[in-house]
């Protein structure tokens, strides 16, 4: 469920008209619903109410401070993949002991930053990374809590670009090699072996791949305990999907029921890394129709938002529903909705039946809260758009629209030119 609904013929975010937001803030603009963010986080959290657990929101999905603060005030932690994401989470008020650090390419300064901050643990992705964390922690006189990210070789049945749990993925360590790495980790200075981690992919619409992966890791956990390595934390990762179009992903309550059943005899503290599942349908991108064009029986609707603002359609061929902000169009038309970027791949909708938008009409691209603004760029020297959060009948700009001056901030012409 989300809180973007029509009141009469006009689309609202909670109690605020999107037309009013654009009139005040301009277009394009990302709009987030505080009520939807809260509802989705709470639903996920309550799915595990009966067991020790922590929800470590996946910062990469949407790292805007207002979004992070919303989840942190609800008791959430953070799953990070860079020193920059750690900084963002700390600035938003996260408890460092609710932070897990994932990602295959952690730099020395990022490892040092995380150790000085006192995060809960690193999710180790390779043998060399484990060695390097040990070296750095020993030099600093600290202990690094670690979990090894185990690659269970389970097909998550999702887009290949967001599949991370197969043996040919760059992520994690295979089960056989992970057993050896756990034995080695136990002997390394500066290392505190406290957990095990898995993350098999994103936008999963079935629970079975999660359960299958857990079953594989349960056998591994039993073997580790037989070797005297008794882990405290089981990081089950994230990846539970949302509805963009016709998908029917399980509800968090149904997902939680099966995960709790699969892990109950382990007696471990469960960690989860939801991102898209709790933020995806809580945000939209509002854009304006600039022109329309018909050519060789092909219809184009040109808008002021492009692939630099919302990259997912160009990158993955992803679906985002599109709705008019004011429903007064004369019927439907099959068209591409394209942006101003000088690329043929710059489209937000391709060959789909949409309302017959006219110049000046506003439209909302739905389910854009995850990997929307977070993946945006200034390609074609287009300043990044504003972000707004709505709560009830009020709204505020939570990120100012960039200016052309921002585009060259930090640049300099060398003295020899």
The pLDDT value given to residue 248: 87
Q: Which residues of 73-98 are buried (b: 16+ CB within 10 A; e: fewer)?
A: eeebbbbbbbbebbebbbebebbbeb
In Å, how far are 148, 189, 191 from 139, measured between CA atoms? 21, 10, 12
DSSP state letter for 10: E
CB atoms closer than 10 angstroms to residue 203: 24
Q: Is residue 388 part of a domain?
A: yes
The pTM for the full model equals 0.94
Q: Is residue 415 part of a domain?
A: no
Query: Is 310 within 8 Å of 349 (Cβ atoms)?
Result: no
Q: Is residue 170 part of a domain?
A: yes
Answer yes or no: is 258 a known binding residue: no
The pLDDT value given to residue 247: 86
Query: Is 138 within 8 Å of 202 (Cβ atoms)?
Result: no
The string of pLDDT tens digits covering residues 53-76 is 999 999 999 999 999 999 999 999
Answer yes or no: is 343 a known binding residue: yes
Last residue of a domain, one of 249, 277, 305: 277
The pLDDT value given to residue 119: 98
Edge to edge, what strands does the sheet with 4-7 contain? Answer: 4-7, 10-13, 16-17
Answer yes or no: is 274 a known binding residue: yes
Distance separating alpha carbons of residues 12 and 265, to the nearest angstrom: 46
- CA–centroid distance for 366 within its chain: 16
Catalogue the E-assigned strands of 296-409.
298-303, 322-324, 332-338, 347-355, 362-365, 386-391, 394-399
Distance separating alpha carbons of residues 232 and 196, to the nearest angstrom: 8
Tell me the residue range of the domain where 158 lies: 34-277
Answer yes or no: is 239 a known binding residue: yes
Q: Is residue 374 part of a domain?
A: yes
The pLDDT value given to residue 166: 45
Same domain? For 143 and 12 the reply is no
Q: Is residue 338 part of a domain?
A: yes
Q: Is residue 269 part of a domain?
A: yes
Same domain? For 100 and 207 the reply is yes
Last residue of a domain, one of 277, 311, 328: 277
Same domain? For 39 and 163 the reply is yes
Answer yes or no: is 312 a known binding residue: yes
Q: CATH code at 318?
A: 2.40.37.10
The pLDDT value given to residue 152: 86
Same domain? For 247 and 102 the reply is yes
Answer yes or no: is 139 a known binding residue: no
Query: Going by C-beta distance under 8 Å and a sequence separation of 6 or more, which residues neighbour residue 75?
Result: 45, 55
Q: Which of 56, 236, 289, 342 is catalytic?
A: 342
CB atoms closer than 10 angstroms to residue 293: 12
The pLDDT value given to residue 203: 85
Below-70 pLDDT ranges, the chain: 155-170
Same domain? For 22 and 81 the reply is no
3-class SS of residue 163: strand
Same domain? For 237 and 287 the reply is no
The pLDDT value given to residue 201: 80
Answer yes or no: is 276 a known binding residue: yes
Q: Is residue 248 part of a domain?
A: yes
Number of domains in the chain: 2
Same domain? For 76 and 42 the reply is yes
Distance separating alpha carbons of residues 191 and 188, to the nearest angstrom: 6
Same domain? For 185 and 199 the reply is yes
Q: Is residue 255 part of a domain?
A: yes
Same domain? For 218 and 152 the reply is yes
Distance separating alpha carbons of residues 339 and 310, to the nearest angstrom: 10
The string of pLDDT tens digits covering residues 286-342 is 999 999 999 888 999 999 999 999 999 999 899 999 999 999 999 999 999 999 999
Same domain? For 109 and 194 the reply is yes
Q: CATH code at 165?
A: 3.20.20.10
Last residue of a domain, one of 277, 302, 327: 277
Same domain? For 320 and 285 the reply is yes
Same domain? For 28 and 39 the reply is no
The pLDDT value given to residue 170: 66
56 is catalytic: no
3-class SS of residue 183: helix
């Amino acid at each position: 469920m989300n809180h973007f609904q029509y009141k009469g013929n006009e689309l609202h975010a909670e109690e605020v008209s999107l037309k009013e937001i654009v009139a005040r803030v301009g277009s394009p603009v990302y709009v987030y619903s505080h009520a939807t963010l809260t509802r989705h986080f709470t639903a996920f959290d309550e799915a595990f109410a009966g067991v020790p657990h922590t929800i470590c929101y996946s910062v990469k999905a949407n790292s805007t401070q207002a979004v992070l603060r919303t989840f942190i005030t609800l008791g959430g932690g953070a799953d990070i993949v860079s020193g920059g994401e750690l900084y963002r989470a700390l600035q938003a008020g996260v408890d460092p002991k609710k932070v897990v650090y994932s990602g295959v390419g952690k730099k020395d300064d990022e490892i040092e930053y995380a150790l000085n901050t006192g995060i809960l643990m690193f999710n180790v992705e390779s043998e060399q990374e484990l060695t390097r964390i040990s070296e750095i922690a020993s030099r600093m006189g600290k202990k690094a809590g670690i979990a090894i990210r185990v690659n269970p070789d389970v097909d998550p049945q999702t887009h290949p670009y967001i599949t991370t749990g197969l043996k040919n993925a760059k992520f994690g360590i295979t089960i056989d090699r992970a057993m050896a790495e756990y034995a080695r980790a136990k002997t390394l200075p500066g290392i505190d072996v406290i957990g095990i981690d898995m993350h098999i992919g994103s936008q999963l619409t079935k629970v079975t791949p999660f359960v299958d992966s857990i079953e594989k890791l349960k056998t591994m956990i039993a073997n580790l305990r037989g070797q005297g390595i008794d882990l405290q934390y089981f990081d089950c990762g994230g990846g539970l999907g949302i509805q963009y179009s016709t998908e029917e992903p399980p509800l968090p309550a149904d997902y939680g029921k099966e995960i709790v059943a699969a892990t109950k005899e382990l007696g471990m503290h469960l960690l989860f890394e939801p991102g898209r599942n709790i933020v995806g349908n809580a945000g939209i991108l509002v854009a304006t129709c600039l022109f329309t064009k018909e050519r060789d029986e092909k219809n184009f609707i040109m808008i002021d938002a492009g692939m630099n603002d919302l990259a997912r359609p160009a990158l993955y061929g992803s679906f985002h529903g599109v709705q008019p902000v004011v429903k007064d169009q004369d019927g439907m038309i099959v068209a591409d909705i394209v942006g101003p970027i000088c690329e043929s791949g710059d489209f937000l909708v391709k060959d789909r039946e949409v309302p017959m938008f006219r110049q000046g009409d506003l439209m909302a691209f739905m389910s854009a809260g995850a990997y929307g603004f977070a993946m945006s760029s200034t390609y074609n020297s287009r300043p990044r758009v504003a972000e707004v959060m709505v709560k009830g009948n009020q709204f505020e700009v939570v990120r100012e629209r960039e200016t052309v001056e921002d585009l060259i901030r930090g640049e300099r012409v060398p003295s020899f030119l």
